[in-house]
Structure 1
């Protein structure tokens, strides 16, 4: 070895990885070309572009991520057949969302020397008045709040 000039090369290779650390490299590694790593029957190649090729991706990681993003976007636009070309159909809007609101039939009751109203769901107070112009309120009026969804008027439970 000495006569061939390989002694220095053998010494460098012999101490390339420290066996006491299990061959762990502490520091940077520079390669002149792509890095291919195999383990457990799988192989991955790390390219100079930063992309990774491997059987787990069925090609390059970049192409796999791009395909998943396109699938997600396509699925979002075609959500449950309720949208067309990225816009909700009128049928979907009219059957899903509140189309209108209204106040229902008015109820009125005497509160001065009367029973009054308890706080009940669906109702809002729409009027309070003093019918005989003394110092006391005489009557109170209330109405249901209703919303129209899919052509049906539904009482609003809580606001």
Structure 2
């Protein structure tokens, strides 16, 4: 049997509502290239990282400005593009603004922050809220989830 090598990701949001919608739909979305200047500037870096996200990787969901971590999820798959509006701003505009999707097989979510921790990520992609977590950072976050929710084990 082959070992599965997981990567730990940080997905940042500007609000908890987007994380809650992700939890309810089991889908996260990233901006399209034409969303703004940061997205245009960092598009190539984003696509390189997005293409590294794979099934069984783990994502940690954080509010960017506060460092509050509210969810953790196991990635099921990535999509090339999805035009189904699910976030509030997409529904209001009747237009998809986060078409680059990642689906999840499981997400653990808390309206209260599980841990508050600003994480320095070397390759963080500004404008997309995406970066790769170091193993020791992930372990600290996982311990906080274990304390709040009981036994959670990811090796």
Q: Same fold (TM over 0.5)?
A: no
- Larger RCO (CA under 8 A, 6+ residues apart): 2
Asked which structure has the greater CA Rg, the reply is: 1
Hey, which of these two has a bigger chunk of strand by percent? 1
TM-score, normalised with respect to structure 2: 0.18
